[in-house]
Structure 1
Amino acid sequence: MTEQLASMPEESTIGFTAPCRPRTSYHELIQAVPVSGSPIRWSLPNSQSGRNGLSSYSSSGASNSCPSNNSGNSSGTISVSAAIVDNGELTRIAHQMVNDGYIWHTVQAFDDASSAPAAFKHGGGVRGHALENWFLELDIDWVLQIDDEHGLRRLLRDKPVTTQELIDKWVRALTVIVASITETEYEFAFHRTPAVALFGKASITEMLNVVDVIVTALEAKKLQAVLDMFTCVCGTSHMIRPVMISREAQSIFKELGNSLEREGIRLSEIISNSTKEVRTLVEEDDSWAIEILRGRGEVHKNTRFIMDCIVSMTIARTSMHNSAPSNNSENLDGLIDIEYLEDLLLRKSWLLLDPSLRYLFLLNNSYFVAHVVSESSGSFIPDDPWDLTPKLTPECKKYMDSYLDFSWGHVLSCIPKSRSLGLIHRLVNTPSLAKFQSAFHETYQAQKFWKVPDPRLREALRRAIIERVITGYRNYLEEHPELEKHVGRQSSSPQVLEEMLGELYEG
């Protein structure tokens, strides 16, 4: 936190008292507070992007966000934290604004402006220079500049700012507004005036009035935006405390608390409806089979998208439980459904005719889901860089075994399992060897460009094939030294085959 700012002097501005802009802008302190606990920023599928198709969406923000469809990210996971906004830091900034006298001077200016000719009406609340200066300091002057979604779109077009940046500013500002007016009401309660409460009502009313504009205009990014605003609204509603000195102020504060609570309920309903929309569009997306084949079995874009949704809601729920437990936060629990995703993946996997690719697809996606859940739940233990063994859930182990059986089981079966002596067996050794080599190369060529994006899982699969197939092959050759002249150092030697497996699953 920067050094304490000096109290703000007053100056006359068009007939009413207004605070000067502070020497060090508060909005610089406010802007520095991180808002989103998750670096994930995803877009809601757009039903207008083709027949039952999903629009393009991506995870952006921090560099450790959910990776795109490449193997550049070594973990293939999402890194998250447990808080949406640092309420403590924003509350400290609000406390500083109160101690500096800035809030009280702003309230006085607003009170003077309420009856001044220069003031003008907007949306049922008084707007004058005081409110404009206040919102400018909070870095949300744009809230007073837009009346509908067209105004928001125009703002986004004319200014170098993203919708998520505007939402982050809105979240910070609402937290500071509620914290500052609550503390100011107690600090100056001896004045026995509802000025602070009226100022808070005008500010919060403007903030809530713009919610519908944001939600309507966002379209593709609606769910993430609503989650952020929902968490902030529910958290700030519990910051509104009853005022015991002024009955009128107490009534206004109670009204504000009720308004925030109603807005939280409404946003919760929007979240629920948006989640149902996501499920419907993902279910009806006709690109599943095409994308699985194109991605050669790797983590599907819809899997990443749904996990982004789930992690975002998990973060929102955690933040709600930590700051302001309520029935609204409990409503999020029913939307966080890993079992639904697992069932969806299993159903969509049957679109593939090749069982080997089907089980590789299930393995990749189940491993990704399990790893993300582990990280977001706080139970994640970082991988030992020297331990190449991935942490597999029972479900992942089942899919890995099924993949190995369907893909490589028939290759090993070409070799007799037990040692047999005699002329008859020696006569069939060479055909068995040729059959094994043919089956190995055929499987290798078919799967050479299949993809396993997680390096640990990729290495585990290679080692499993070596242990099952190459080791069995090597033991067979040791039992039959007469076959050495048919293998030698050619492309069918165990060492060469093992080196070939090192090129699998790179995509």
Structure 2
Amino acid sequence: MHFDCLQLKILSDQEVSWGRELAKEDQMKRIIKSLAQEFFPASSSAAAANCSVLERWTRWWFTELGIGWVLHVADGTSQGILQHAFDDARCWSRALAEIMETVRSTDSVIGLPCICEEEQQPMAAENSSSFPDQFQFARFVQETLFKMLTFVDVIVALDPNTITCDIFIANGVLALFQKISDLVRVRAALSYALSQIDALFLWTPSVEVRRIRGEILNFLRSKDVKALEGIWSTLEEIWTRILELIDDSSSASAQTSQGSSDIHKLTWSVMDHITFLLDNYSIVAPIVLEAARLGKYVPRNGDLPPFDSMIMEMMSCLEKMLVNMSESFPDLSRRLLFLLNNSYFILERLQDAPHLHMQFPVRDLTSKVDGYMDKYLQVSWAPVLSCLFNTTPLFLFGKYYPSLALHTFESEFQKTYTTQKLCKVPDPKLRKMLRKDITEKIIPSYTKYIEDNKVKTVQFGPQYLEEMLQELFEG
């Protein structure tokens, strides 16, 4: 009985919630209808009041949606307002979607019921006065969207250097990535708005209403094209700046943070961008394809689709830059760890990315990661192990002294351990693999040497050395 009562209470709560949503939606429809009639009254004598009514309405609705600043954009007084472009684009896109949802639901109240095309009678001579509510509503939607869509021009023209970012990448590349993110978000909102307006007043008999619908669609399409062109021009600028960084080897070397083996911030930035492009494949790929068709972009990998080729080129340039940066390391071990860290990071990001059907260099990257790891082990730890197999110092005055080799080994181990402990391997999986490989390379041979030579006293036992190796690469 208690369970049944609880179920009834849950259902009751849901019904109350649904009821509130429906009441809120009905209230919004009534408000829009009332304001539309007030803004475009049947009497032309009241037209002078239109501007003040629209201003009052848009200020109220836009403020409710958290985008009151759009009014300043529309009237050209937005200087200094768009300080956080990403947040602005996100709020604007969400608000446009909510506006379109409200417009579509209100159309079902104000507009005429949908009828089949065969049943529709020719009414070319019909004027808007026969359908005052519908005409007023169409004009109201038009004026509201005209105000709203002025933001597209602002975001396309926005200087990336004015975008607020948590981190600043060399040559402002991160800011450009941010701008593309904003533009893609805006274009997605425009596409949704186009689909909603396309279904608005679809069967209206009013010639004037159909004309207004066409004007809204054309305006939306023009803004969509503008956003598309903005995305491509920003992609071009990113591409140019990345190439500038690659060509400027002195600048690239200066960004290695004085020999840090950590993942470089430019690697993070470029891979964030590539992942972002993959996540927005359906939007960006057609843009790159169109750019290639128009000759704005010439893919270097002609056997791949333009989008795939562009990603491959970015990957190739990033790898080239990392190699150039690594040249500044005076220590070969750190150089190899730097390349290993960054290559492994790239590999992990690509393996987690969608659209793996595209021909990414995952296999080549895997081979490079394995190569960097093997070479690092050879350069850093093979010399330590070789101390146990160098028989030259084992004989002194014709007598065999295995402890001399142990002393040399322990000294070399301590020196290498102290140096490598300060190196950083940020990825836990890679850090674990490196520790495991070093342990398997050193400890069994060290243990076997002690046993074979019946050494009774050692400075560091095998277990102690293994525990030391588990502290490597914390930075």
Normalised by the length of structure 2, the TM-score is 0.70
**Match of 1:314, SS?**
helix
Contact kept, 8 Å, 1:118 with 1:128, in 2: the verdict is no
Name the residue aligned to 1:119.
50
Contact kept, 8 Å, 2:142 with 2:216, in 1: the verdict is yes
CA gap 1:282/1:170 in 2 versus in 1, 3 angstroms:
same
State how 1:85-484 maps to structure 2 within 5 Å: 96=25, 100-112=29-41, 115-120=46-51, 127-146=54-73, 151-154=78-81, 162-190=84-112, 191=131, 193-215=134-156, 216=158, 219-220=162-163, 221=175, 222-242=179-199, 243-245=202-204, 246-285=206-245, 288-294=252-258, 296-317=260-281, 320=283, 327-328=286-287, 333=307, 336-337=311-312, 339-340=315-316, 341-377=318-354, 393-416=366-389, 427=400, 429-481=402-454, 483-484=455-456
Rounded to whole Å, the distance in 2 between the matches of 1:155 and 1:442 is 55
CA gap 1:148/1:111 in 2 versus in 1, 3 angstroms:
closer
User: Which digits, 9 at most, give the CA deviation of each residue in 1:367-414, with x for residues without a partner?
Assistant: 2223333444298xxxxxxxxxxxx94443332222222221222223
Contact kept, 8 Å, 2:74 with 2:148, in 1: the verdict is no
5+ residue gaps, structure 2, are: 1-13, 113-130, 164-174, 291-305, 357-364
CA gap 1:342/1:252 in 2 versus in 1, 3 angstroms:
farther
CA gap 1:423/1:213 in 2 versus in 1, 3 angstroms:
closer
Rounded to whole Å, the distance in 1 between the matches of 2:76 and 2:405 is 72
Contact kept, 8 Å, 2:253 with 2:324, in 1: the verdict is no
More helix by share: 2
CA gap 1:417/1:425 in 2 versus in 1, 3 angstroms:
farther
* 1:100, distance to aligned residue in structure 2 (A): 4.4
Name the residue aligned to 1:87.
none
User: Which digits, 9 at most, give the CA deviation of each residue in 1:33-72, with x for residues without a partner?
Assistant: xxxxxxxxxxxxxxxxxxxxxxxxxxxxxxxxxxxxxxxx
Rounded to whole Å, the distance in 2 between the matches of 1:443 and 1:265 is 59
CA gap 1:475/1:109 in 2 versus in 1, 3 angstroms:
farther
Name the residue aligned to 2:6.
none
Indicate the percent of aligned positions where both proteins have the same amino acid: 31
| Aligned residue type for 2:233 | N
* 1:471, distance to aligned residue in structure 2 (A): 1.8
Corresponding pairs, count: 388
* 1:302, distance to aligned residue in structure 2 (A): 0.9
* 1:143, distance to aligned residue in structure 2 (A): 0.7
CA gap 1:438/1:354 in 2 versus in 1, 3 angstroms:
same
| Aligned residue type for 1:438 | S
5+ residue gaps, structure 1, are: 9-23, 25-95, 157-161, 380-391
User: Which digits, 9 at most, give the CA deviation of each residue in 1:328-363, with x for residues without a partner?
Assistant: 486694554563434443443344343322221122
Contact kept, 8 Å, 1:292 with 1:361, in 2: the verdict is no
* 1:288, distance to aligned residue in structure 2 (A): 3.7
Contact kept, 8 Å, 2:39 with 2:50, in 1: the verdict is no
Rounded to whole Å, the distance in 1 between the matches of 2:395 and 2:287 is 78
Name the residue aligned to 1:38.
none
The structure having more radius of gyration, on CA atoms, is 2
Rounded to whole Å, the distance in 2 between the matches of 1:497 and 1:7 is 70
| Aligned residue type for 1:269 | E
